[in-house]
Structure 1
């Protein structure tokens, strides 16, 4: 049998359900893989081996009695360390949150566990979810399993590294300006930023509550759909959550995509792409065409206004959330996070309110014009190779805003609009680093994005490539 650590969420769940593998065996395989890769990528801040093995044993006993917790029965997962859990602690990648009172448990994690998942530990991240690179001065920098000198992307940095290194089959992350899609793109994973309001944020550390979303990082679209089915749905603790259902079965993934219309990446958005990235995106569009999808040119509105409006909201709400700590414990912030959070105090209230008031109108305008006549659109994520840790040194305060803007230029606008967006791996560059494209849909069109991504993955197989443990 294949090493269980190399199996994805759906494959593990199926093997356990068909008695080809036990929950304990799956968990031990994950823990062994963690012991091998943790010194290389620094993805975990806590591994809860004893608790995970005890839960796995309980699940195996239940299965022997014919009792199945749900579709994720026995699957080892780990999550960004920003979700509250009964009796647990949360670091948020910071020096401040440890020891602070915790909110009630996060429904997103609780729903995965109710579906049978096993939480084996908690993952490193950018401090306070405030960085797109994965640097962290408190717990050590996250490192990319494809090349440990490179960044993982952030802020869901450990989530990207852990899933790519096959330490766990899937992980939760959060996305306020690209924090799921960037680590997914840089680590060769599917990363889904859901529609704003699709998944409850209750019990999770906020960065900017008007933009925050919770979603999965996995190796396949099928795996992401399993996790999304578990975590989606209305939650009275988060009044922004929608009651719109997410499909419970995976049959929608296998429906043909022939006849769907995809908006091709606007040339203006690809103008700064390296030839290698541009070629990979073009080849990916050719694969979709081979599946019967029709490409269509779409208008290319300037992204800068959406970026600026989203940035105003993000900085303002972060400053409000961190006000007390910024006054009382400024020395406990990294230079990067302190400088970015402090900037929020200089944004006029009128600018923040304007950004909030324009959202609905600009969303409707985007959907009715840019997305008119298409089912989904493709857009870049990174138009250049994954940078090194040294190249994105966050201690240079003057360079921080430009660095953040360069990394999040194509992701933050879709947080402002609240649209679902999926990072889709499309190959590797000459240095062996992942490349990706972004699929963007109308509100609540996650099943469509996952279906297209699934069909693309079946036609290509990039997701089957595994990073090698450095000698």
Structure 2
């Protein structure tokens, strides 16, 4: 039996009271990964490094050195994040020939917080895709149903948390790659504001949209990891220089449901409650009812341009990666997976004018979103209009019509991705096939505390986040 489904705060207390040890938790993590190897959550497990780090963590606690709530707890990082001495391949044949010379800044921050780095998680090749069906590192499988995808691109990180392999894992999010795996794997996933967390030492995809974020079982656990990694970094001048407002301490109240009293929730009813699988719409309605019953004030808002948003994001998401991969795409095209190569080739077809127009639309949309959210604290939508799809699916039926998988993946996450706003996906139930459904909570830039308070409050009045996939 693994303790790794327990909340971070509970595990931290157990470590300090002597009920468990970092070594014990690390061995549980390694055993869980081995027992569920068929999920293909990891591409590298650092047995020696993890065991050494766990022993150090126990020794430090014994000596009175306490690095905080992550001290001694097993975490994982996505394969596009540098760990010194390890190969950063980003799920590709094109990268990582030479081991990383230094840690990514987020890894440095995790080590400083005392976390035990277990290994590197599987991902969609180069982070450009939503299935984590990787031709080079293997097909990752959803722990709720192995015939379904774990989404992507941070699919391995979502699996690792959902299957009880680690307490938290880092992913990266450009167009939804933390929030989507959180949704379909039944965990909580935070995309921070662009500029809140350093991207130094992270393989880029679309540099005006990329950010690193945590996946964890709960909003409270995601807040702990956020507080550990959020930092101004001279290696990444896009990070915000002002002091980071820690999110986790603000969640610590006697009754977390108080976070919902008076919370002003915006809902784009003519967008967010249509065009979904029926179970998704029903679950979101139930979640809104639960929020309202606990004192939240729900109001309908209108956001101009939301119907055109995905088209604009597809331009940015295509052009920026294509520009970065131009030389390799010409010299080694066969080393890309078919789907990623197709995405990159599409990016080359857009003109500079089309890219600039997409970026102008993005700025216009952000201003309009700020105006629409003037009288609300957070915006609530589904995370995805559907639950986990079968492996190999290229489209999904919505409202009786086939819809593009890529466009469906971005339908709701594009709002935060294009505006640069923070978003948290939390579980809100299961569909008729027993697959998780996620709700996306979005707030204004640099107000991670708002989405985390709302998510924590919701999880105080529901138990969807406590559900676990069956172990085989």
Distance 2:440 2:143 in 1: 21
Distance 2:265 2:234 in 1: 36
Contact 1:312 1:344 in 2 (8 A): yes
Distance 2:218 2:446 in 1: 20
**Aligned residue number for residue 113 of structure 2:** 115
**Aligned residue number for residue 461 of structure 2:** 459
**Aligned residue number for residue 351 of structure 1:** 354
Distance 1:62 1:104 in 2: 24
Task: Note if 1:325 corresponds to 2:321.
Answer: no
**Aligned residue number for residue 245 of structure 2:** 246
**Aligned residue number for residue 35 of structure 1:** 34
Distance 2:459 2:37 in 1: 28
Distance 1:303 1:253 in 2: 35
* Deviation per residue, 1:48-68 (Å, 9 max, x gap): 112101111111111111112
Residue 198 of structure 1, CA deviation: 0.7
**SS of the residue 2:114 aligns to:** coil
**Aligned residue number for residue 47 of structure 2:** 49
**Aligned residue number for residue 147 of structure 2:** 149
**Aligned residue number for residue 396 of structure 1:** none
**SS of the residue 2:220 aligns to:** helix
**SS of the residue 1:250 aligns to:** helix
Match runs of 1:335-374 below 5 Å:
335-368=338-371, 370-374=372-376
Runs of 5+ unmatched residues, structure 1: 394-399
Match runs of 1:67-466 below 5 Å:
67-100=65-98, 102=100, 104-244=102-242, 245-247=244-246, 249-254=248-253, 256=258, 257-368=260-371, 370-392=372-394, 402-466=404-468
Compare 251-260 and 461-470 and name the one that shifted more. 251-260
Residue 146 of structure 1, CA deviation: 0.3
**Aligned residue number for residue 399 of structure 2:** none
Runs of 5+ unmatched residues, structure 2: 396-401
Residue 324 of structure 1, CA deviation: 1.5
Change (3 A) 1:236 1:92: same
Change (3 A) 1:366 1:433: same
Residue 401 of structure 1, CA deviation: 9.8
Distance 1:358 1:428 in 2: 36
**SS of the residue 1:87 aligns to:** coil
Change (3 A) 1:383 1:262: same
Residue 272 of structure 1, CA deviation: 1.3
Residue 104 of structure 1, CA deviation: 4.1
Task: Output the TM-score relative to the length of structure 1.
Answer: 0.94
* Deviation per residue, 1:183-209 (Å, 9 max, x gap): 000000111111111100010000000
Distance 2:15 2:184 in 1: 30
Distance 2:63 2:96 in 1: 40
**SS of the residue 1:4 aligns to:** coil
Distance 1:249 1:175 in 2: 21
Compare 349-358 and 16-25 and name the one that shifted more. 349-358
Contact 1:228 1:246 in 2 (8 A): no
Give the count of matched residue pairs.
462
Change (3 A) 1:104 1:64: closer
What value does the CA root-mean-square deviation take over the aligned residues? 1.9
Compare 47-56 and 294-303 and name the one that shifted more. 294-303
* Deviation per residue, 1:139-163 (Å, 9 max, x gap): 1111000000000000001001111
Distance 1:226 1:351 in 2: 40
**SS of the residue 2:404 aligns to:** helix
Task: Output the TM-score relative to the length of structure 2.
Answer: 0.94
Residue 100 of structure 1, CA deviation: 4.4
Residue 264 of structure 1, CA deviation: 2.3
**SS of the residue 1:437 aligns to:** strand
Contact 1:233 1:246 in 2 (8 A): no
